[in-house]
Amino acid sequence: MGSKIKHDEKLVEEIASHYEAILRLIGEDPDREGLKKTPQRAAKALLDITSGYHSDPLAVARQAVFEHDGSQMVIVKDIEFYSTCEHHILPFFGKISIGYIPDGKIIGLSKLARIVDNFARRLQVQERLTSQVCLLLQEALPNKGVIVACEGEHLCMKMRGVEKQDSSTVTFDYCGDFAADGALRQEFMRLIGL
């Protein structure tokens, strides 16, 4: 996530053999020039886009929690993410904005992006991704409330099925003061431009 991933070559070859079989099943020749290395490249790509299974997001979050006396909302907006729909194994992507109200501690800003990547780099649905980020921050950081907004575009809706090119999906999750105070939720939405 953000750095080059080292792959287990035995695992790459095992996954590649399945991609080679899939190429044959759809009527392609995996031995033709343009496809000779495709199974290995696809295997490595699959391992990259599912690398979130091999990281502990709670440990990541707890690496950078710091004392802070303030109690006003902190927002990191427009954290881009790329994920894979668990229903069709097709990409979905977009941006996540996170807000929280500190309660004696704050988290390093880059850790918020790493948490998003950790959950996005799995087979996912947007609703769960949004909820996982919110719940993790609620657990990892003393706070008075957490709110997460996610806007995504899904290739399973754009390139197959209903083929709606301009559709996007917005999901929210929140807890604490954001659950109790509608005005606070509205302030967050206004500040992130939703």
Q: Which residues are catalytic?
A: 85-88, 126, 154, 156
- In three-state secondary structure terms, 170 is strand
Rounded Cα gap, residues 64 and 24, in angstroms:
48
- CA 110 to chain centroid: 14
DSSP, residue by residue, 36-60: TTHHHHHHHHHHHHTGGGGS-HHHH
Rounded Cα gap, residues 108 and 39, in angstroms:
39
Rounded Cα gap, residues 116 and 130, in angstroms:
9
Q: Regarding beta strands 105-107 and 169-176, do their DSSP bridges make them parallel or antiparallel, or are they unpaired?
A: unpaired
Q: Supply the Cα-derived Rg of the chain in whole angstroms.
A: 20
- In three-state secondary structure terms, 90 is coil
For residue 83, what are the contacts with CB-CB under 8 A and spacing of at least 6? 49, 91, 92, 93, 120, 121, 122, 124, 126, 129, 152
